[in-house]
Amino acid sequence: MTEKPTYIYIAGRGHSGSTLLTLLLARHPRVVAVGELANLPLQVARDETTKWVGRCSCGERPMDCPMWGDVLRRVEGSTGTDFLANPFSWRISDIGMEEEYRSQAPVRAPWVWFRNRLWRVLRYAQYYAPQWLRPVLGFYRPQRRWGENRSRLAAEIADVNAVDAIVDASKDPLDMLDVYQNATIPVKVILLTRDARGNIWSMIKKIKPGEPRKGPVTRASHDWVKVNRRIWHLARQVPEADCLHVRYEDICRDPESTMRKLFEFLGLEPHDVVGSQADEDGASDQGHTIGGNKIRFTSEKLNISEDFRWRENLTEDDLAIVRDIAGPMSDALGHEIEN
């Protein structure tokens, strides 16, 4: 078994370009992308009786997928877990069936929902507390076990795929810190941010013409600030050597040098991941990602173009709201917002 695969964690707000970043990282021959790993037990639990059926991007249920099936059976063999009978008995994150029931969770699964809320409140309290209070609040830390389990899972994934590093795009900053502080393998965190205008447009694009926009644009702008501030605050607890901020725009405008910098940070050999790739299998495929967006892995040269749809779609009024609310945070993160 690979002794120490590097655990690459992408933290960031949704719609910040994590699919593109994951694709680029996974084009490195020593790296495999797994999607949003925090969701794996949930995807195992989601079967024909639930609203969605949990599947790997290859189309198979996790236990039937050639990659995940192999990984999960190895874990079962060494831990005595039975994933199909009880997918959450071997936890790797706070995500459980409350995620399946969403707004109905307090009624349909009250205990599971309540426990998830409790875990989140408790961890926020632990991570935000002043140093002297942390030992007191740290009496109960289920995340310690999750981090150990996640490391074992990562090691099996790296071994099955014969790589040195795995990319987890789970994105949640709380989950990121759980992994960073409790993993037994090296963790590298990538903080991904995107221009507030592009990010906010992708959050509100479902608004139909003629519908009021002020409220949704205002809420999305506040949310952009809130989520990025939270990520920034929690990431301060990760030492600088293990944490790198990357802007979506930098990836699009200069993918070669951005990726060169990233691979150096990750301790991986330099590799041209933008140009066409040697295709050893003779075919590109979906890979085996779990949760999150489907990624089409191709061996062709990548045509990366920055998504500027916000320019045609955000009005002057929208932009004024975004600038007003998100301007200072945007400046702090080094995103341009004036023009």
Task: Give residues in contact with Zn ion (CB under 5 A).
Answer: 56, 58, 65, 288
Q: How far is the CB of 83 from Zn ion (least distance, A)?
A: 15
Q: Which is nearer to Zn ion, 56 or 158 (CB)?
A: 56
DSSP one-letter code for 144: H
- Burial bucket for residue 156 (CB in 10 Å: 0-12, 13-18, 19+): buried
In angstroms, give the least distance from the CB of 194 to Zn ion: 28
165-171 vs 187-193, strand pairing mode: unpaired
Cα–Cα nearest to 87, from 288, 286, 290: 290
Which is nearer to Zn ion, 65 or 273 (by Cβ)?
A: 65
CB of 65 to Zn ion, least distance (A): 3
Pick between residue 56 and residue 196 the one whose CB is nearest to Zn ion. Answer: 56
Rounded to a whole number of angstroms, the minimum distance from the CB of residue 56 to Zn ion is 3
Instruction: Report the alpha-carbon distance of residue 284 to residue 277 in Å, rounded.
Output: 10
- Answer left, alpha or beta for residue 282, where phi above 0 means left and psi between -120 and 50 means alpha: left
CB 282 within 8 A of CB 178: no
Please state, in angstroms and rounded to a whole number, the distance separating the CA atoms of residues 314 and 151.
43
Q: Where are the strands (E) in the chain, listed by range?
A: 6-12, 31-33, 165-171, 187-193, 243-247
Provide, rounded to whole angstroms, the least separation between the CB of residue 63 and Zn ion: 10
Residue 56 or 262 with smaller CB distance to Zn ion: 56
Which is nearer to Zn ion, 69 or 147 (by Cβ)?
69
Residue 273 contacts by C-beta under 8 Å, 6 or more apart in sequence? Answer: 24, 25, 27, 28, 255, 259, 302
| Distance from chain centroid for Cα 223 | 18
Measured CA to CA in angstroms, residue 89 lies from 41, 93, 141, 142, 177 at distances of 9, 11, 16, 13, 22
For Zn ion, the closer of residues 17 and 54 by Cβ is 54
Among residues 16 and 43, whose Cβ is nearest to Zn ion?
A: 43
Cα separation, 59 vs 55, in Å, equals 6
Residue number, 58 or 122, with CB nearest to Zn ion = 58
Is the CB of residue 287 less than 8 Å from the CB of residue 169? no
Report the C-alpha gap between 26 and 20 in whole angstroms.
10
Q: How far is the CB of 66 from Zn ion (least distance, A)?
A: 6
Cα(220)–Cα(118) distance, integer angstroms: 26
Indicate the residue type of 43: Q
What is the closest distance, in whole angstroms, from the C-beta atom of residue 72 to Zn ion in the complex?
Answer: 11
Q: Which of 26/65 has CB closer to Zn ion? A: 65
